[in-house]
Amino acid sequence: MKKQWDDQAILDNIRAGKQAGATYVFYQYGGRLLQFFKWKFKLSHEDAEEALQETLIRFVQSVCHDKFHGDASIYTYLSKIGVNECLRILQKNIAYTDILIDGMAIEELIDHSKDLEKELHYRLCVAKALDEFEKAEQNANERLTALTLQYKGGSIKEIAEEIGRNEGATKTFLSECKKKLRVYLLKCRDECN
C-alpha cells in the first residue's frame, strides 16, 4: 500500500534519519522548485540543480536539528530556503550581474526576497491544492485539462472539441471548474497573506 504523506509524517521520517520523507519532498516539490529557480532567477539548469540540492540539504538538516518545528507548512520553509539559495548563487556568480530579473538588478532582488518567497510559496501551495482537488472532485482530470487549454490560449471551440462538449456547455463547465478550484486555492491565498 502506498504511504500517505502529510507534513508531520515527512518530518517524523526525516528526524528518524530515514530517506523516504526527503524522497517524497524531492519528487513532490523538486520539479516545481527547479522550474521556479530557472524561470524567476534566470538560473542555468546546472545552477538551478545546485540550488535545489542545497535547498534540500538545508531543509533536511533543519528538520534533523529541530530548527523546523512544523509550525508552518513544509513548502513555506522550502520557499524561504530556496529563494536564499538562489540569491546566494546569483551573488556568487559574476556572470549573472548583468541580468535583470523582472526589471530588477540582482542587488535589488535581495530587498525583495520576501516577495519572491511569497510567490514561490504560493506556487508550491497551488501544486498541493491541485493534488487535493484531483483527489476530492469528480471529473477532476477533465476539469484541469479544460483549464489548462484555456490558460494556454485555446478558444472555447477548441476546448469544446477536446473535452467533447458543445461550446455553451464548455463555457458553463469552465466557469464551474474555476469556481470549484477557487475553494482549494483560497487556502493558499490565506496562507500567503
Partner 1 sequence: MNQEEKENQALQAELEYRLQPIELNPQILQNVFKKTGAKPDKYVDFVNFLKKLSLPVQQFSSFLWERRRIGVSFATSVLVIFVFIKLLIPPEPEPRERSFPSAAQKLVVPNPQVTAQTLKTDLEKFGIVATVKKSDEDWIVEVINLSADNLKYLPDLLKKYKLKLPPPGENGLKVRIVAKGN
Is 17 a binding residue for partner 1 by CB under 8 A? The answer is: yes
For residue 37, which of 22, 53, 21 has the smallest C-alpha distance?
53
- The binder of partner 1 chosen from 11, 32, 83, 109 (CB under 8 A): 32
Of 94 and 180, the one with the shorter C-beta distance to partner 1 is 180
Q: By CB under 8 A, is residue 175 in contact with partner 1? A: no
* Interface size with partner 1, residues (CB under 8 A): 41
Nearest 5°: phi and psi at 43? -80, 150
Is residue 122 a contact point for partner 1 (CB under 8 A)? yes
Interface with partner 1 includes 109 (CB under 8 A)? Answer: no
Q: List the one residue from 8, 35, 97, 166 that touches partner 1 (CB under 8 A).
A: 35
Q: How far is the CB of 77 from partner 1 (least distance, A)?
A: 15
Distance CA 143, CA 176 (A): 9
Residue in this structure with the C-alpha cell 530517506, named with its chain if needed: 19
Q: Binding of partner 1 at residue 93 (CB under 8 A)? A: no
Q: Does 30 bind partner 1 (CB under 8 A)?
A: yes
Closest by alpha carbon to 31, among 55, 10, 11, 15? 55
Q: Which residue, 14 or 74, is less far from partner 1 as judged by CB?
A: 14
User: Minimum distance from CB of 70 to partner 1 (Å)?
Assistant: 18
Count of CB atoms within 10 A of residue 151's CB?
8
Rg, C-alpha atoms of the chain: 19
Least gap, CB of 7 to partner 1 (angstroms): 18
Cα 155 from Cα 96, distance rounded (Å)? 39
Counting contacts by CB under 8 A, is residue 22 touching partner 1?
yes
Asked if 156 contacts 162 with a C-beta cutoff of 8 angstroms, the reply is no
CA angle (114, 75, 188) in 5-degree steps: 80
Task: Tell me the HSE value of 106 on the side-chain side, using a 13 A CA sphere.
Answer: 19
Contact set with partner 1 (CB under 8 A): 13-14, 16-20, 22-23, 26-27, 30-32, 34-36, 39, 49, 52-53, 56-57, 60-61, 64, 119, 122-123, 126-127, 130, 144, 147-148, 151-152, 181, 185, 188-189
